Amino acid sequence: MILDMRQVRKAFGGLVAVNNVDLTVQQGTIHAIIGPNGAGKTTFFNCVTALNPADSGEIVFEGTRIERLPTHIINRKGIARTFQNIRLFPYLSVLQNVVVGTHNQSSAGILASVLHTPRFREEERQMVEFAMSLLQQTGLVDKKDIYARNLPYGDQRRLEIARAMAGRPKVLLLDEPAAGMNTTETSSLEAFIRRLKDDGLTVVLIEHDMKLVMSIADVVSVIDHGVKIAEGTAETVQNDERVIEAYLGKRKDT
């Protein structure tokens, strides 16, 4: 177990978006979170990363509670994420966007960066080198000098993943990574996520592409109206009556 959420609750006024959810993520797995639109999935990610801190409950990462830590500290500890709505720096190049993601690993201080000390320059060189390796992995190395805003949508998705990976996370949270991708792009994404797992990374993804989820997820958790209604293997979940009801509506007796 690398990430353990216990009785996590988040409300916005009278709307309870996440209602006492328990969810455990095992290290080195691909764990999918699915559910209808508005089910509370992204809010759950926001609680984990403290963008919208949980009202109550515990979030434990590698044995340490993190639910009250600032977002940047959670990131530095090893949890990175992408967003449902892509958040890139549009007027920075592809390479610069990824280099930005490496700076949570920097040990050089402000003075060193201002003075451009040898230590700072060496760190910068290593960051660029690592960023280039991530662009190679994501198939974007030939587009390294293009402004992020000029990339096709699928490439922007991959760039956001590369930037998240730049912080060397242990857990990667992907919020609808296949959204807007065509069949070829989704197939490439699937292969990339599998490689991340093979490299020892733990992946948690929110996704509406059920074909993708069912093909790569080790565990699937289903959230509906802020409540976890089912969990298990892909085969178990897709045959669960509560899941069928949540997606298709209650069946009438015949």
Q: Considering the chain, what percentage of its residues have pLDDT values greater than 70?
A: 91
* Section 147-170 average pLDDT: 93
Q: Which of 71-75, 94-98, 178-182, 227-231 has the lowest mean pLDDT?
A: 178-182
Which of 54-58, 82-86, 178-182, 193-197 is modeled with the greatest confidence? 54-58
* Section 222-239 average pLDDT: 92
- Indicate the pLDDT class of residue 245, thresholds 50, 70 and 90: confident
54-78 pLDDT, tens digit per residue, is: 999 999 999 999 999 999 999 999 9
Angle between helices 118-138 and 94-101 (to 10 degrees): 120
- Indicate the pLDDT class of residue 248, thresholds 50, 70 and 90: low
Looking at domain 1-78+169-254, which of 3.30.70.100, 3.40.50.300, 2.60.120.10, 3.20.20.140 is its CATH number?
A: 3.40.50.300
* CB distance 215 to 194 below 8 Å: no
Q: Which two tokens stand for residue 96?
A: 């610069």
Q: Considering the chain, what percentage of its residues have pLDDT values greater than 90?
A: 68
What is the model's pLDDT at position 254?
41
Domain ranges of the chain: 1-78+169-254, 88-168
Closest C-alpha to 169, from 149, 189, 140, 199: 199
